[in-house]
Chain A
Amino acid sequence: MRRVLFVLVMLSLLCFPLVAGGTTEKTSSADRIAKADEGLDQQTKDFLEDKDFSNQTLVVGVWGGVIEDIIRETIVPSLEARGAKVELLLGGTGDRMAKIYVERNNPTMDICYLNLYECQQAMNDGVTEIPGNKIPAYDDLYPQAQIGGYGMSFMGLGIAYNPDFFDSPPEWKDLWKPEYKGKIGFPTYPGSEGEAFLAIAAILASGDEYNEEAGFQKLQELLPAPLFYTNLDELFMMMTKGDIVAAPVISGYAWTYLDKGMNVAFSWPTEVGTVKMMDVLTIVKNNKHPELADAWTQLALSPRTQKAYAERIYFGPTNSKVVLEGEVAERNVYGEKVDRLIDLDWLHIIDSRSERTLRWNKDVVEYR
C-alpha cells in the first residue's frame, strides 16, 4: 500500500511540471513576442503580425563585435519569439562576398552585410536582390541609402586628429602642411578608407576624383607613413602620443575612441567634403527563407535598431524617421550632414581596383 502511495505521489509530482509547463508555454509565446517587440514602431509590428517562422533558420553574414551585440539585442529576439532560429556568420566582407558568389546558384546565406563600394557590384552581378518597398521601411530610407541594397547606416570619412596640433578642426588640405610630413596615418588599400583618401588627394591636386595619377603623386608628398592602420587601438595610441597628428578615419570609429579617453578629436571636413561611407544590408538572391529575410530587413531598418546603432557606435541612421538629439546627433551623420556627404563613383573605383592596388603597393607601401 505504501509503495502504491509512493508511486502515486511521484507520478503526480512528475505530471505537475508537465501541466504547468503546457499552460505557461501557451501564454509565454505571446508574452515573448510582446517582450521582444518592446519599443518597436507600429509599421514593423504590423509587418510582423501573425508571422510564424517555426522550423526556419536564417543565416546572416555580418561583422562581429558590438554590431553583433546590437543585432542580438534588437533583431534576433523578435524573430526567435516567432519561432525562427538565427545563425550569425561573423567575419569580414571579403569572405562573405566570396561565399555568396561561389554559392550563387544555391545560396546558404540569406542576409549578407556589405560595404557601400561592393554592394552595387554584387547587385549588378545578380547575386543580391535589388532593394524595393516590399520592405515597408524602404520608403522611409534617405534616397542616398537606397543604393545597392538597403543602406544600414551612414558614416563619413573625416579626419581624426590630436587637438594639441591644430587650433581648429582641420580640413583635408591641412594634412599637407609641411610640418606634418611623415606624421599622417594612412589607411590600407584596398578598402573604403584607402580608396576615399586617394580620391580626396586626387580632388585636392586636380579637382578630379578620377585623376589617379595626380592622387598618387599627392599622397606621396605625405610619405613616409608612420603607420598603415589595420588596428585602431594603435592608431589612436600613436595619435595620443603625438607620433601621428592626424589620419583619415571613419566618423563612428573615431567617436568610440574618444569615449575611451584618448586625446583625439574628429573633424567633418567641409572643403572637398566628408566622404559618404555606408554599410549595406543585402538580401541574397534566391535565398531559401524569403519571408524571414524580409522580416530581418524590416527589423534592421526599424528605428529601434537604427537608434541602437547610432547611440552605441555612432553609425548614423538611414531611416529618416529616426530622431536623434544632443551629443548623439552631433556625432552621427544625421540631419543636414546627410546631404553634405560627398559620394564617390564606387563602381569606377572597383573597376580600377586591381591596377590601383598594384600601384599603391609599389608607390605608397614600398616607398622608402
Chain B
Amino acid sequence: MKTKHVWALVMPALLLFVLIFLVPFLLLIVKSFQTYVPGTLISDSSFTWENYTQLFSDGYYFKIYYRTIRIAVISTLAVLVLSYPLSIFLSSMNAKVRGVFMTISILPMIGGAMIQTMGWFAMLMRYGTINSFLLGLHIIKDPIQFLGTELGVIIGLVQSFLPMMIYPLVSSLLAIDREIYDSARTLGARPPKIFFSVTIPLSAPGAMAGAILVFMACLTSFVTPSSLGQGKIQVFGTYAYQQAIQVMNWPFSSSYAIFFILSMGIVVLALNLLARGLRRKRCGSM
C-alpha cells in the first residue's frame, strides 16, 4: 500500500485528535505564558515566564509531584500483585466461562469513577461498612481512618483500575505455549519456580502494557483522590482543579498542567521503551 493511502486511514482519528486535544492544548500553552491579574479573571496577555518560575521556586509543588508519583507507583504495584493470580486463574478457564468472568471483572467500570468512589466512600467512612464490620467483630477498638489518607485513595484507585491490568495480562498469558509449562515440569521445576522463571518473563510485556495504563490513569486521577482524600491528599488532579476551578488562576493552572503533562510524557516514554526492551528480550530468548 502506498503511504498516501496509509495516511487516509489515520485521518478520522487525526482530525478528532487535532480538534479535541491539540487545539485546546495549544491554547493551554498560550494561556500558560499570560499573566494572572489579581481581582479580575481576564488575564493580561503580555508574555511572562513567571508561571513556570513559580513552579520551581516553591517546594510545595515538588511535594505534590512526589506524592502523585508515589501514590501511582504503589497503586500500580498493588494492581500488579492482585491481578497476577486472578489473570492466571482466568487464563486457565475454557474460553466461554472466561468470557463471562472477564465481563464480570470489567463490569464496575461501566458505572464510571464517580459511582465507584461513592461506593467506597460509604464503605470506608469512619462508621461505614468496613469499620462497622470490624468494630462489630471486636477486631478493632476504634474505627480506622481510611478517608483523608493515602491508604484510602490507593484502595479506591486499585479497585477502579484493576480491569486495565487484567485484560492485557490475560491475553499475554494465553499466548504462552502450554508445552513450555509441560517441559518445565518434565525438567523437574516446581510451581513457584515455573511461575518466576516461565510465567513472569513470558507475560511481562502484557504486564508492562497494563502497568503503563494503570500508572497513567492513577497519575491523572481526580475523582478518587478528591473524594476519598477529602481535601487532605493533594495530588496533580486535585491541585489542578483547585487552581483552575476554585482559585481560577487560569494562567498558572495552565503552566502547571503543561509542566505535568510534559514531564509525565517523558516518564511514560521511558516505560514504553522499557516494555519494548522486554519484548525484544523475549523474542531473542525464544
Chain A interface (Cβ < 8 Å from any Cβ of B): 92, 94-95, 97-98, 101, 121-122, 124-125, 188, 190-191, 227-231, 234, 237-238, 241, 243, 347, 350-354, 357-358, 361-362, 365-366
Contacts and interface: CB of A to CB of B under 8 A. Distances in A.
Interface string B99-140: 000000000000000000000010001110000000000000
B245 A94 contact: yes
Contact of B36 (A95, A122, A241, A354): A354
Closest 9 CB pairs of A and B: A94-B245, A228-B231, A351-B38, A188-B231, A351-B39, A190-B246, A354-B249, A357-B247, A125-B40
A234 B245 contact: no
A227 B39 contact: no
Contacts of A92: 245
A365 B148 contact: no
A227 B247 contact: no
A353 B230 CA distance: 20
A243 B145 CA distance: 12
Contact of A361 (B42, B60, B125, B126): B60
B41 interface: yes
B213 to A, nearest CB: 28
B126 A238 contact: yes
Contacts, number: 82
A354 B227 contact: no
Nearest to A243: B126
A98 B245 contact: yes
Contacts of B231: 188, 228, 230, 365
Contacts of A95: 245
B249 A227 contact: no
Contacts of A94: 244-246, 248
A121 B246 contact: no
B126 A347 contact: no
A124 B40 contact: yes
Interface of B: 36, 38-42, 58, 60, 63, 121, 125-127, 147-148, 226-227, 230-232, 234, 242-250, 252
B40 A121 contact: yes
Contacts of B41: 97, 101, 121-122, 125
B230 A227 contact: yes
Contacts of B234: 361, 365-366
Contacts of A227: 148, 230
Given A101-B42, A357-B242, A361-B242, 12 more contacts: A98-B245, A125-B42, A190-B242, A228-B230, A231-B230, A234-B126, A351-B38, A351-B39, A353-B38, A353-B247, A358-B58, A366-B63
A125 B147 CA distance: 39
Nearest to A126: B42
A358 B234 CA distance: 12
B126 A190 contact: no
B242 A231 contact: no
B36 A350 contact: no
A231 B121 contact: yes
Nearest to B227: A230
B147 A234 contact: yes
Given A121-B39, A230-B226, A237-B127, A354 B247 contact: yes
Contacts of B60: 358, 361-362, 366
A230 B230 contact: yes
Contacts of B246: 94, 190-191, 357
Given A234-B147, A354-B36, A358-B60, A190 B247 contact: yes
Contacts of B36: 354
Contacts of B127: 237, 241
